[in-house]
Amino acid sequence: MKEFDYIIIGGGCAGLSLAYELEINDKLKAKTLAIIEPRAEYKRDKTWSFWKVMSHNFDDCVMKSWKNFTINITKKTNHLECQSYPYQSIDSGLFYEKIINSLKKNKNISFFKDISEINPKNSFIFNSVPSIKKNYLNLWQHFCGVEIETQKDFFDDEIFNLMDFDCDQRESVHFFYTLPYTKTKALIETTWLSKMNDNSQKDYDNQIKDYLENHLKLKDYKITYKEQGAIPLFYPTYEDTKNKINIGTAGGMTRLSTGYTFLNIQEHSKYICKNIENISKVKKFEISKKYQFLDDIFLRVLNENPKIMPVIFFKMFKSSPKTVIKFLSNKSNFLEDLSIILKMPKWTFVKALFR
Ligand SMILES: Cc1cc2nc3c(=O)[nH]c(=O)nc-3n(C[C@H](O)[C@H](O)[C@H](O)COP(=O)(O)OP(=O)(O)OC[C@H]3O[C@@H](n4cnc5c(N)ncnc54)[C@H](O)[C@@H]3O)c2cc1C
């Protein structure tokens, strides 16, 4: 059976980002790579959004960028600017197409549906398939989004809504998220932060219909695309092995307080590419321990006090938006961290720290 220098298990966001980074930096001219991906065809299945705090390879896959956003709780709206770090949305369909077209040109790169088709014994493996053990205490960010088109101009496409908590919370944390691509086209998402053990939270279609028709008062629209998912707000099991690195969600690239993963995947890909010649010896890349610690406390507070979370998120954005964005994107310094921490209800967080 055929052997390869490198194997990437899972040709999704992390697997393809890494393969592309290696390819454009000429790391696959003298090395062979096998990508193991079971899906029958690549089509748009996700919209990856993030504040652009660093450069990445996919500016040509960006559907829209915004420099303004809002966050709402009942009867209050905060208008914020993100000039320095625009919020971007990437179309996964364009991302897959761009990368696959580029990788297909290199004869050293091969695609397989299953790892049993090759001999992995002497390869270095990058694995993006997470190992998730069932635990009813684990928190998830689970959501469903629809892209809609309206007959008449309806949206203000200059400003997106990051979180609208003015909705049914059902003893959990729930918000809507609206990305207006044009005046007549937007992605509307219903998002829950919960243990995912309450099936009544999963009537996503009804929630979105109610939000569109009764909250936004929009009647005349058609759904053109739908995406659904659940992001683990905990780290999947990670076994340290000499010839294997986990990447993507499996590799702990999700910021647990937010679910943001895309840019961390890009940073990890750049790190691996820079160190590829010495990959089995370099330090494991991870989201800094500072954020792991702060997110752990934040999620404990969320778990125990879901009702106060809308106000906590709202208050967090009372700091300068640039500071909050840097904090949520793992780029803040000590003083910036402090300015966010001081906005939080101190006693609630101190209690969570000692629990
Ligand atoms: C719908 C959705 C929207 C999201 N939106 C955002 C966002 O806006 N911003 C953000 O930062 N993050 C977002 N995320 C989180 C994160 O960025 C994505 O989940 C991202 O796709 C993670 O990349 P990955 O490579 O780890 O996983 P995936 O992209 O899921 O890739 C894993 C791949 O492994 C393949 N696979 C599965 N089983 C096997 C197997 N046994 N062998 C080989 N391959 C296998 C799958 O087919 C898949 O292609 C979103 C997640 C979802 C689900």
pTM: 0.96
105-133: average pLDDT? 96
DSSP string of 156-217, one letter each residue:
-TTEEEEEE--S--TTSEEEEEEEEEETTEEEEEEEEEE-S--GGGG-HHHHHHHIIIIIS-
pLDDT at 134: 83
Per-residue buried b or exposed e for 51-70, using 16+ beta carbons within 10 Å of the residue's own CB? bbbeebbbeebbbbebebbb
Atom of ligand 1 nearest to the CA of 17: 25
pLDDT at 343: 87
Chain segment 340-355, per-residue pLDDT in tens: 988 888 888 888 878 7
- Identity at 102, one-letter amino acid code: S
191-206: average pLDDT? 92
Chain segment 266-319, per-residue pLDDT in tens: 999 999 999 999 999 999 999 999 999 999 999 999 999 999 999 999 999 988
Chain segment 21-56, per-residue pLDDT in tens: 999 999 999 999 999 999 999 999 999 999 999 999
96-108: average pLDDT? 98
For ligand 1, atom 41: residue with the closest CA: 129
According to DSSP, the residues that pair with 228 across neighbouring strands are: 144
| Residue 136 alpha carbon to ligand 1 centre in Å | 22
326-352: average pLDDT? 90
* Residues having CB within 6 Å of any atom of ligand 1: 9-15, 36-39, 46-50, 128-129, 227, 229, 231, 248-250, 259-262, 265
> Does residue 243 contact residue 124 with C-beta atoms inside 8 Å?
yes
> Does residue 257 contact residue 297 with C-beta atoms inside 8 Å?
no
Q: Which one-letter DSSP state was computed for residue 254?
A: S
pLDDT at 54: 97
Mean pLDDT score of the chain, rounded to an integer?
A: 95
Chain segment 136-153, per-residue pLDDT in tens: 889 999 999 999 999 999
Task: Count Cα atoms within 13 angstroms, Cβ side, for 154.
Answer: 21
